Amino acid sequence: MSAPAATIGQTEAVVPGTQFDEATLERYLVGAVPGFSGPMAVDQFQGGQSNPTFLLTTPDAKYVLRRKPAGVLLASAHAVDREYRITRALFEAGLPVPEPLVLCEDLDVIGTMFYVMRHVPGRGFWDPRMPQLSPAQRAAVYDSANDTLARLHRVDYAALGLGDYGRPGNYFVRQISRWTRQYEASRTVDIPEMDWLAEWLPGAIPPSDERTTIIHGDYSFHNLLIHPTEPRVAAVIDWELSTLGDPLGDLTYHMMEWFRPEGVDVRGTLRGADLTALGIPTPEAYARTYCERTGFDVDPTHPFYTAFNLFRVAAILQGIAGRARDGVQTAANAGEIIQRIRPLALAAWHSAREAGAG
């Protein structure tokens, strides 16, 4: 939820308001991370609306640091300790995630909790049409993304010690409640469509055989690092929103690439695209492949899911607006992000009308 296409994976000088004592951090890492030695250079990844993220470069290796932002935070938000826990478990299970190296809860080091992981080189794609790739490469990237998500949803989370990582059952009910509360806590202006959606969504959830799996929570191409030279997923990053829940939560959000209305998100959309020419499967074919890989029988194409996911994104961005209001938002493009909230709400209500809302 963070950066325009041109800046995925790019770094800049550390943004004012997110600085920390780099010498103290370096001394800590020398003792905490095997093989770590300075001197260390620090740059900040562009974007990072939620948890500021930094590239640490030493003569021998590169690392990535994720920290909580400063200031008063919403309850349960910015839980980098949860990110560390889930990535550690999944890395040990052989899934494509960066190797987490250390979690630091000592606020005296840089002022907030943080964790450090190995840097994974890769390409990020904001535009789902991926104009840099050939049709065959696009097909392979989409298939790898599909396979990676299916692998995640097949993981035995209890066997990994993650039985308490979230609450099973009623996933969409809980998600609607969570994002409604965040929207209300961060409200800066009145948007009637958000109020209508908050009232309509809980009673409109399509019936399904709800399953419980690990949920990434933001499974989109901007959080998939594609191998530098091969058309495959090298790592899934940004696990801040991960939990246990219905895998349809991940699948329908991921498939917004096909259903997202034009103009409501800088990520663009596949709506109106010649999918055959691009080498990208239809949403029906993509869902069918996922079901074959998981053994699940689900339909992610219902317009309820478009309404829900657009509402959810609007609520997440409203959280950024609230932090900007409170003076703890430091991202340079926070103002542009705030301008997207109302269009998202309007598009979400349009999808809700398609799903039967009055």
Reported as a single tens digit per residue, the pLDDT across 164-217 is 999 888 899 999 999 999 999 988 889 999 999 999 999 999 988 779 999 999
The confidence score (pLDDT) of residue 69 equals 78
Q: Rounded to an integer, what distance in angstroms lies between the CA atom of residue 122 and that of residue 62? A: 13
The confidence score (pLDDT) of residue 8 equals 63
Tens-level pLDDT at each residue, the chain (358 residues): 444 433 466 778 887 778 899 999 999 999 999 999 999 999 998 765 578 899 999 999 999 999 987 654 444 556 899 999 999 999 999 999 999 999 999 999 999 999 999 999 999 998 999 999 999 999 999 999 999 999 999 999 999 999 999 988 889 999 999 999 999 998 888 999 999 999 999 999 998 877 999 999 999 999 999 999 999 999 999 999 999 999 999 999 999 999 988 888 888 899 999 999 999 999 999 999 999 999 999 999 999 999 999 999 999 889 888 877 777 655 566 677 788 899 999 999 999 999 999 7
Each domain of the chain, given as residue ranges in start order, spans 5-118, 135-354
Look up the CATH superfamily of 5-118.
Phosphorylase Kinase; domain 1 (3.30.200.20)
Instruction: Pick one of 3.90.1200.10, 3.40.190.10, 3.40.50.300, 3.30.110.40 as the CATH number of 135-354.
Output: 3.90.1200.10
The confidence score (pLDDT) of residue 5 equals 38
Q: Rounded to an integer, what distance in angstroms lies between the CA atom of residue 257 and that of residue 268? A: 8
The confidence score (pLDDT) of residue 332 equals 60
* DSSP collapsed to 3 states, the chain: CCCCHHHCCCEECCCCCCCCCHHHHHHHHHHHCCCCCCCCEEEEECCCCCCCEEEEECCCCEEEEEECCCCCCCCCCCCHHHHHHHHHHHHHCCCCCCCEEEEECCHHHHCCCEEEEECCCCECCCCCCCCCCCHHHHHHHHHHHHHHHHHHHHCCCCCCCCCCCCCCCCHHHHHHHHHHHHHHHHCCCCCHHHHHHHHHHHHCCCCCCCCCEEECCCCCHHHEEECCCCCCEEEECCCCCCEEECHHHHHHHHCHHHHCCCCCCCCCCCCCCCHHHHCCCCHHHHHHHHHHHHCCCCCCCCHHHHHHHHHHHHHHHHHHHHHHHCCCCCCCCHHHHHCCHHHHHHHHHHHHHHCCCC
